[in-house]
Structure 1
């Protein structure tokens, strides 16, 4: 499958989506959103791929939406663009595979919203994050108002969105916006190590974790706990559960078959 705005690479059980508009700091336009959807469809169907990593080519992860197109959008077209972006982010969030954002530089506006839709965020020390849409007289439209608030809390989220300030990687780590920060020279290696570690687990259990966490975060506690128990019961029906328990008792590494 050929792409114009991104690269898709598969390495064993891992797959990389590399945003490839470095001359525009990997900014998001309609074509990029459409190609992200196509790439996600391919990866979701590929049983060999167990973990997806998303990063950007050049010095940016993604600097947000391509503002050059904003002068041409009327309100209806802007609504459709936001809807398309929201659908892509939701697709990433609900993908039945772990997704890691590998933040190699600027993650601003829609770029940060892309990272927020991922399950885990690992950033380089040079990375800068933020939602600067307020400086254009607008606000985040790809899910940032909701996902950022759930991740860092209302007070911090509102301040980030209302000031439009950039956040350094270390400060982002302190507030829980990113999981970990590593030197830029080690970013790809560390992200790959993390992905490979996760890829050794049962794909069924990984998918169940995502489903229970994503559905439970907006549910009352008792409803979330009920979903957890049901998911736990489903896990007990899998061959991987049998293999995992057997391997533990035999003091060896499990050989999961993802079923």
Structure 2
């Protein structure tokens, strides 16, 4: 477990920062870390803090306990009518608790998936930049089987991550699939034992956080921003991004540290 100071106190999320890395743990294990309104609001606040705090460069998102990353919406709360849907469609369009359109903070987020990642929990993992999972993880978008619509981005994101026919079968059947299948089809980049999950995720996060933050941001934005561009447009954007980054202090620090045989000290400027 990563050790560090608690950066912010929440009711349903544990927030720990160690250096430039934050571990945010969804903490409703008695409900399989299902997403209620409070957790949704606290998650959005966490993302705002990630975006605005320059001392944080990478977030690891995981779930408390070994049984579940996030089992989706709290259906008991939904049954009681206490969801963003009860406030009309505008709240969903503006980014309800499971729409996850606010995940683009400009900084990498790594999902460390332990146990169930179902429904909104599956979409939560899809919204992250990198996904790793424990061997007991399982994934699924069961909304169609329940008469719901997967409004957190699965129909958009899943076909961009996995082969189209496989993604469509998963979306339309609502079937659950295991971690081995997720690894085979490229949904996750690492498959590890449960006791190695958080260490693996934080190790990757620390490696990313050690790099020049402006360069990391530029590469990430280019990777996401070119899906609908022509090759010539991509080349122009890439050249412009490279020119901008080369003007930064960090771009001078990297080669200097290499020549001086020391670790670079990047400051994001």
TM-score of the superposed pair, with normalisation by structure 1: 0.92
The aligned runs of 1:160-199 (5 Å cut-off) are 160-199=170-209
**Alpha carbons of structure 1 residues 57 and 75: separation in structure 2 relative to 1, 3 Å:** closer
Instruction: Report the alpha carbon displacement of residue 49 of structure 1 after superposing the two structures with TM.
Output: 1.3
Pairwise CA distance, 1:46: 1.9
Distance 1:14 1:50 in 2: 6
Q: Which runs of 5+ in 2 are unaligned?
A: 1-7
TM-score by length of 2: 0.89
In structure 2, relative to structure 1, the CA distance for the partners of 1:74 and 1:190 (3 Å cut) is: closer
- Aligned twin of 2:3: none
In structure 2, C-alpha distance between the alignment counterparts of 1:80 and 1:7, rounded to whole Å: 29
Kindly state the Cα deviation for residue 218 of structure 1 after the two structures are TM-superposed: 3.0
After superposition, give the CA deviation of every residue in 1:23-55 in whole Å (9 maximum; x if it has no partner).
111111222111111112222222221110100
Q: Cα–Cα, structure 1 residues 85 and 51, in superposed 2: closer, same or farther, change >3 Å?
A: same
Equivalent residue, structure 2, for 1:66:
74
Q: How many residues align?
A: 258
Any idea what the Cα deviations from partners look like across 1:183-221, whole Å, max 9, x if unmatched?
A: 111111111111111111011111111211121123333
SS of 2:35 mapped into structure 1: coil
Aligned to 2:42: 35
**Aligned-CA RMSD value:** 2.0
Alignment partners' CA distance in 1, 2:241 and 2:198? 33
1:75 CA drift (Å): 6.3
Q: Which has the higher helix share?
A: 1
Unaligned runs of 5+ in 1: none
